[in-house]
Amino acid sequence: FAVRNADADHAIQVLNQEFAAELKSGTLSEIVAEPNLATVAIVGENMKHTGGIAGKLFNVLGRNGISVIACAQGASETNISFVIEHDDLRKALNVIHDSFFLSDTQVLNLFVVGTGNVGRHLLSQIHAQQENLLENKALRLRIVGIANSRKCIFDREGIDIDQTDYLLENSTIDATPENLKKEIIGMNIFNSVFVDCTASPKIAELYYDLLSHNINVVAANKIAASGDYEGYRRMKRVARKKDVKFLFETNVGAGLPIINTINNLINSGDRILRIEAVLSGTLNYIFNVLSPEIPMSRAIEMACEAGYAEPDPRIDLSGRDVMRKLVILAREAGYPTSQDDVECRLFLPESCFEGSIDDFFTKVKELDGMFEKMRAQAEKDGEHFRFAAVLDHGKVSVGLRTVDSAHPFYHLEGSNNVILLTTERYNEYPMVIKGYGAGAEVTAAGVFSDIIGIANIR
């Protein structure tokens, strides 16, 4: 039974007196009070003879991390009462109201971290689509937290996207990982989604704690899914246990549905035997523009100018990014792979990756003649250069190769990506996924798609 917090000690005292004999003999267990609880009841005649109400109630509470301490339902079927922690009261009322009384409208509360190219495009796309999603899909996307590299802002009532720059500039909360975790978990808001548009290892380290507190995670950041294998499995397990989503489709192929396709194949009983892919839009662009007029050094500069390459292009040219992507695909395909397992065949000498960026371009210019000879020979043989990633029955490798006109990689234009999936079902003729694989706008669109996927709308 329930009493006010103020009456709890007195209640324990009189009960101990009244049942002293039973307590002494062990007939009655120790009488204790659990403080700071709240009782919630959903009441209504429409609950009568309507199956699934209790199931829906406890399911939605569980998905949002709200533990039910006690519950009761009368024989009249017009009342379900339950006891929860008082700290969860606001969240419980909001989620019940959203699920039962605003059932025509679903709300997702978003925390967006990173307002660079991808984050900025994502906020713009959310802003442009809000009215359409509300009207046609009954989905309301509410931004309740935003952080850049310096400051963060939070408002459970929603943040005006048009005011983001001003609000961040005037915020007093530093965007440290500790502050982000404290504010997001402390807000204890229902249907929450953490969206990581950074490339920060420190931000990726927050995922496990957030998932453990029933917060969905959508990541454009590759670090968590390609890092320590046990850490990756740990996040997958806690997401399943807490019935929340850990989605990172844009880790490979920007907005292309690669990871989702692999998951669907495996979940339907298929098995991935081989993956062959061009996964670097940057490297594909470089080798596509290479010509007698455009040497390797200039092609790299053009990739930087076009925004395909990182400010330090050696990050792309080292093949490290492709290795991460291949590890993610191998793991999603069911192979326990780490980056140390990947054989990497570099096409630039190790010395190019030492020193400053200016040193790098000086060294690459000295190699222009060699690359032109290689390009000319490939053209004579009717072949194109491609930096390919391969998973073959668990063995993983990346490196430069040539392909002829019969190969699906041959006609790959610009910064596009392509992936060939050979499975037990798609064996003689592999499945091909092809399209834009780089760029902030398409990456943001892929992140947006993951967010929509959490809502399970059609």
Report the CATH number at residue 247.
3.40.50.720
As for how many domains the chain has, the answer is 3
Question: Domain end: 101, 126, 143, which one?
Answer: 101
Please check whether residue 279 lies inside any domain of the structure. Answer: yes
* pLDDT confidence bin for 387, thresholds 50/70/90: very high
Does residue 415 carry a pLDDT above 90?
no
Please check whether residue 87 lies inside any domain of the structure. Answer: yes
Say whether both 288 and 337 belong to one domain. yes
User: Comparing 438 with 21, which gets the higher pLDDT?
Assistant: 21
* pLDDT confidence bin for 16, thresholds 50/70/90: very high
Please check whether residue 259 lies inside any domain of the structure. Answer: no
Give residue 337's pLDDT.
Answer: 96
Does residue 20 carry a pLDDT above 60?
yes
Secondary structure of 64-96 as H, E, C letters: CCCCCCEEEECCCCCEEEEEEEHHHHHHHHHHH
Cβ neighbours for 155, distance < 8 A, ≥ 6 positions apart: 144, 145
Question: What strands, in cross-sheet order, belong to the sheet with 395-404?
Answer: 343-345, 395-404, 383-392, 272-278, 416-423, 431-436
> Structural domain of residue 147, as residue ranges?
106-254+444-455
User: What does the pLDDT average to over 255-274?
Assistant: 95
Whether the CB-CB separation of 390 and 398 falls below 8 Å is answered with yes
Say whether both 290 and 305 belong to one domain. yes
Report the CATH number at residue 374.
3.30.360.10
Cβ neighbours for 149, distance < 8 A, ≥ 6 positions apart: 114, 175, 198
Say whether both 55 and 203 belong to one domain. no
User: Comparing 97 with 140, which gets the higher pLDDT?
Assistant: 140
pLDDT digits (tens, 9 = 90+) for 289-307: 999 999 999 999 998 888 7
Q: For residue 19, what are its two tokens?
A: 């049942």
Whether the CB-CB separation of 296 and 285 falls below 8 Å is answered with no
Give residue 101's pLDDT.
Answer: 65
Does residue 352 carry a pLDDT above 80?
yes
Annotated active-site residue in 222, 242, 325, 434: 325
Residue 366 to residue 197: CA distance in whole angstroms: 37
Say whether both 158 and 211 belong to one domain. yes
Does residue 14 carry a pLDDT above 80?
yes
H or E stretch including 7? Answer: none
In Å, how far are 39, 267, 320, 335 from 393, measured between CA atoms? Answer: 55, 18, 21, 9
Say whether both 312 and 394 belong to one domain. yes
**Active site annotation includes 325:** yes
Say whether both 187 and 158 belong to one domain. yes
Give residue 103's pLDDT.
Answer: 58
pLDDT digits (tens, 9 = 90+) for 26-48: 999 999 999 999 999 988 887 77
Say whether both 295 and 433 belong to one domain. yes
Question: Domain end: 34, 67, 101, which one?
Answer: 101
β-bridge partners, 403: 384
Say whether both 345 and 418 belong to one domain. yes
Does residue 310 carry a pLDDT above 80?
no
Report the CATH number at residue 58.
3.30.2130.10
Helices 258-267/320-332 angle, 10° precision: 20
Residue 156 to residue 17: CA distance in whole angstroms: 47
Does residue 319 carry a pLDDT above 80?
yes
Q: For residue 282, what are its two tokens?
A: 């940057």
Say whether both 113 and 230 belong to one domain. yes
- What average pLDDT is seen over the chain? 92
Say whether both 406 and 271 belong to one domain. yes
pTM: 0.83
Question: Domain end: 61, 78, 101, which one?
Answer: 101
Give residue 379's pLDDT.
Answer: 94
* pLDDT confidence bin for 312, thresholds 50/70/90: confident
Neighbour-count burial of 132, counting CB atoms closer than 10 A to its CB (0-12 exposed, 13-18 middle, 19+ buried): exposed
Which among 231, 244, 234 is positioned nearest to 194, based on CA atoms?
244
